[in-house]
Each structure stands twice: as C-alpha cells, then as structure tokens.
Structure 1
Amino acid sequence: MSIAYKFSFLLTMPAKAALECIKQNAKVMERTVQELHAELNALTDQYVSLREKQLREENRILTAAVEEAKKQLIRLECQQGIKQISIPNQTLLVATIPLQSASTNDVNKTNLSQTATDTTKEVKPKKEKKPKETKQKLPSSEEPSVDVGRLDLRIAKVEDVQKHPDADSLYVLKINCGEDKPRTVCSGLVKHVPMDDLKNRSVVLLCNLKPVKMRGITSEAMVMCASSPELVEVLSPPIGCEAGETVHCEGFVRSPDPVMNPKKKIFETVAPDLATNDLLQACYKGVPLNVPGKGFILASTLKSCAVK
C-alpha cells in the first residue's frame, strides 16, 4: 500500500480511528526497528567471533615462526661459538604475589603482633657495616671459536686389544698416541671390526675428551670412525705416519683444549660437520683432515657418511 493511498485512506476515516491506526503503525515500525537491531547485533557478534578466531590463528602461526627463528638463531650462534645465557626463572616472583593480596585486617593484626613483640625486646645499637672491598675483575681472554681446531686429533697405534670383562659390545684397547705411556680406550667396535684387524693398526684418536668410566674401566680417548646405519669403518691415517703426529684442517687454527669441558658441548657442536666426501676423505665442513706433508685421513669404503 503506497503512502499516498494510506494518507487518502486516513482522510476518509474519523479522527479517532485515524489516530488509533497511526499508533498501531508506530508500534509495528518500533517492533521492526527492534528486530533489525537484534539482527544487527547478532551479525556483529558473529563477525567479532570469526575475526577473533582469525586473529588467534594468525597469532599462533606468528608465534611458531618466532620460536623457529629463535631456535635457528641459537643454532647459528652455537656454531659461531657464541655462549648462550639462560633467562633466570621467574617462579620466586610469582610465588610472592599471593602474599600481596592478604586482607587489610590480617596485615594490621600482623603489624600489632610484631609491635607488641618488639616492645619487649631491648633495643641494641646497630653495628656499622664495613664497606665491602670490590675486587677488580681481570678482562677474560676471548673464547676461541668452536670448530675442529678445538679437537686434539692425533695419529695413534693400537698396541693391545682385549674384550671388556663386563660388556660384550666393548673392546678395551691400549693405544700409543705419542705420550710416555699408552692410553686405555673403551670402544664399541666389537660388532663392526674383528679383534685381529685392530691389533697393531694405526688410527686417528680424539685425545682431549674428558675421561669417563665405562663399566668400571676408565676410557681416556676415542677412536674416530666413519659410520653409516649398516657399517662402521675405522679411519686410516696416511702411510708413514708415527704415533703422536697431529691432524690438521686447512683454514682452521689448531688450538685444542687440554680437556674439553662437557658443559660447553664443543665436540657436540663440531660433530655434525664431520663427514667423509666422495673421495673417502674425512672432512670438516667439506675441508679434508690431513697430516701435514703426509696426506689425508681416509675411510675404506664409506662415502658421504658421518665421522664420529
């Protein structure tokens, strides 16, 4: 019904009936406005809920990306020898928060009790504290970069091989690495290398690991091997090497720690970059390990395999 028609219809009605009709129309319009208002609120709530879900998902993705970036940064810093410092735990700070929410009455009672106790005690003069002597810290030398130069790799010769009395998978080796007496080395090569193949054999020995007991026998070094899931091969030094000669890697200064600190994880940082290449040469970051003037350290058959 058009507005003009409604207006002409109202003119033909008595005044009281016309007024009643206007009131009814006003109620209908008010109800319509309320319904539209409710629909608008419902649509707004749906939009807000949907947008909130989208933002939460975006936040989750960004958080995961940030965490991955942090891990990558820490990994790169460790490779560059940058020391990692852990963030102090905030547990103590959190534990003190509930104490601050105690009611005012409890605090007042505590203060009154403390005051009553203090009045019964004799007031003693406080002793003057002597100023603490501050020791000047000497500037520490810069930490060397963590690379293959920190490993004490030497040519050595196996002088004796025995089975470990308490471990079927271990050999107990006596190895001459150019020192006054041979070192004792426990090696898990029983399943991979026959005993006769180790006797009188020249090997590459990692000499600055911290000694560790293995089933009651202290192992003082580690025989370096090329390793795959199916096979383990003892690395072979160049022909003509003598026990005690040092192993080098071009481009990396050889400055081994006397004994590597296990907490600094030096070997664990270097090990992922030790591997053989397609020429069977043992390498660090693709650079072959060598004995100067003698030649390269080689595996027998394993190419592109981890060295450990």
Structure 2
Amino acid sequence: MENSDGLFNPSLASTLKKLDPENGEQILDYFQTHALLARDKALLQSSVRDQKKLLVENSKLKKDIEQLRTQLQDKQRRRTYRPLFSPPKTPSFTPTTPANQLVSPTGQTDGSLMAPPPHSSQVKESGRRRGQRKACLGPEPVPLEAEPRIDVSRLDLRVGRIRRVRRHPMSTMQSVQEVDVGESAPRTIVSRLAETTNFEELQGALVVLLCNIKACRQRGVISQARLLFCFSSDTTELLVPPSGSTPGDRVTFLNYPGEPDRELQSKQRIWELLQPHLQVDSRGVANYKGSRFEVKGKGLCRSRTLTSCGIR
C-alpha cells in the first residue's frame, strides 16, 4: 500500500523484489511515479474552485481600480481648469466727469476727444497682464499611467538538470553548478549548499531555476541564474519539479498568466518583494499566494520532505 509520502510499504516493496529480483525496483518506481501523478491530479482538481473564486475577485479589483483612476483624472481636470470659469472682474466707474472731456454738440460728453493716446509702457503692461493671466491657468494635466504589475508572472522560472557540481575555488561555503536549461550551453550557477550535501547525488537531478536575474560575479565566478530552495529553521533542500519534466520547461501559475521580464532590474527589487509570498503548503506543494507552481501537462513542483515553509 502507499503511505503519506507517496512511497509504498516496505513489506510490499520487498515482496516485489522477491517475486522479480531483476525488475522489482523498476516496477516499484513505475508504481510510485503513477501514484505521484495521481495525487498531483487530485490536487489540481480540488483547487479549480478556489482558482475560479480568485479570478472573479481579481476582475472586481481591476474594475475598482479603473473607477478610482477615472475619479482621480476627473478631480485633476476640475482643479486645473477651475480658473477658466471664474467670473470676470467689472471695472469701477467714478460718478464725476473728468475735466479733460469735451461736450459734444448733442450735449453728450466725449472723453475720446481730449484723451491722450496710450503710452507704449501701458501697452507693455497690458501684454504682461495677459501673460500673467495665461500663467494662472496652471500646468497641463499629467496623464495617470498604469502602475507596473508586481506578481510572480514577472519571474522566468524554468526546469533545469544539474550536469556538474564542484566546490567553489575561493569559498568553502559555496559551490558551483553547471545546469542545463534547454539552451545551447549550460548555465553556471553559484549557490550555497548544505555541508552534508552529496555532490554525486546532485548530478543529473532536476531543479527549478530563476533565469532572468542579472548575472553577477561571486568570488571570481559569474553566476547566471538562481537555484530555488525550500527552507525551514534548520533545514534546506532543493525545490523539485514534477517527474517527467525536461530542461527548459516553464513553471507557470494559473492565476498569473503574464509574460516574464527579459531581465529583472535591481532598482525595482522585484525578487525581494515577491520572495516572502513564495511558500510550501502543508502538502509540500510550492505556491505563490495560493497559486501552485505548475509545469503544464506534467504536474506540480514540491519539496522532498519539508512542509509549511518558505522558498528562497
């Protein structure tokens, strides 16, 4: 029978080996692989309802954000064009008649007969007043641009296979891996593995990598990607993609279908903002805010033994 870890009872395993010593282990591996696939399928089916609810909530939030944006734009327009609708100032008249006005033959006074022509300084002042009135209109409204999304879809997560592992030549706490990610040449990665890690067991293992970080030099070796680890207070282990994955397979998220950045900009600190939300649930499945790490058609990414822990 299968236990909670996806492995078969030792007594059943020993029985299979006795019945078929040559192919017993292969049969057991075959059963274990199909048991894990069946369990992943059940997890995916159980999460469809929750994922639909999240999609509905996301659409509502988008509508609310659009309404708030239009309200802000309307307020900004009113604030900018308010001086246009202010009432004009009426000139004040004195009841007395100026002494320089003459009386016309019809008995009406005409101030234009004796009024001197406007001086050039008065013309300049009127021009300045017009310029000042234009300046009072204020600056043109600045269009509100949509804020860039900050979610896990901006991370380029791929499946890789470790081809070679060796100690860092200048650091006893670090190691250097050459990982095949489906490209023309393997990527060199500098990471910190546990002291008890067996390098021979890591060769040929499937791992999950963050591939769109900026390459950086670490103690003389250029690191071109980042290995994802599951970690608790005193234990660290590699995040494992589903069996049957091949190097270069994308790790996607059902609720976050966007395309990843070509390269994460260090000034935006995208990885630092997203990393606290990368978790392993109580079943050992990796997720981001409830949306699971998935390789389409092949299954879910999970931890080997850790549960309810973080990912870095």
TM bucket by the smaller chain? 0.5 to 0.7
Q: What's the counterpart of residue 187 of structure 2? A: 183
- Larger C-alpha radius of gyration, 1 or 2? 1
Residue 286 of structure 1: CA displacement? 1.9
CA–CA distance in 2 between the matches of 1:230 and 1:202?
23
Structure 1 gaps, min length 5:
1-79, 81-138
Q: What's the counterpart of residue 296 of structure 2? A: 292
Residue 197 of structure 1: CA displacement? 2.3
Q: How many residues align?
A: 171
State the TM-score, normalizing by the size of structure 2.
0.53
CA–CA distance in 2 between the matches of 1:143 and 1:216?
38
Instruction: Please tell me whether residue 247 in structure 1 is matched to residue 251 in structure 2.
Output: yes
Q: What's the counterpart of residue 157 of structure 2? A: 153
Residue 168 of structure 1: CA displacement? 0.4
CA distance 1:279–1:305, shift in 2 (3 Å): same
Instruction: Please tell me whether residue 164 in structure 1 is matched to residue 168 in structure 2.
Output: yes
- The sequence identity of aligned pairs, in percent, is 35
Residue 141 of structure 1: CA displacement? 7.7
Residue 178 of structure 1: CA displacement? 1.1
Instruction: Please tell me whether residue 229 in structure 1 is matched to residue 233 in structure 2.
Output: yes
Among candidates 273, 283, 286, match of residue 287 of structure 2: 283
> How big is each residue's C-alpha offset from its partner over 1:210-241, in whole Å with a ceiling of 9 and x where there is no partner?
11111010101011110012100101111111
CA–CA distance in 2 between the matches of 1:257 and 1:140?
23
Q: What's the counterpart of residue 242 of structure 2? A: 238
Give the match's secondary structure for 2:153: helix
Structure 2 gaps, min length 5:
1-64, 66-142
Q: What's the counterpart of residue 173 of structure 1? A: 177
CA contact (8 A) 1:173 1:184 kept: yes
CA distance 1:185–1:141, shift in 2 (3 Å): farther
Residue 140 of structure 1: CA displacement? 10
Moved over 6 A (4+): none
CA–CA distance in 1 between the matches of 2:144 and 2:247?
35
> How big is each residue's C-alpha offset from its partner over 1:30-64, in whole Å with a ceiling of 9 and x where there is no partner?
xxxxxxxxxxxxxxxxxxxxxxxxxxxxxxxxxxx
Residue 191 of structure 1: CA displacement? 2.1
CA distance 1:141–1:293, shift in 2 (3 Å): farther
Residue 254 of structure 1: CA displacement? 3.4
Q: Aligned Cα RMSD in Å?
A: 1.8
CA–CA distance in 1 between the matches of 2:303 and 2:160?
16
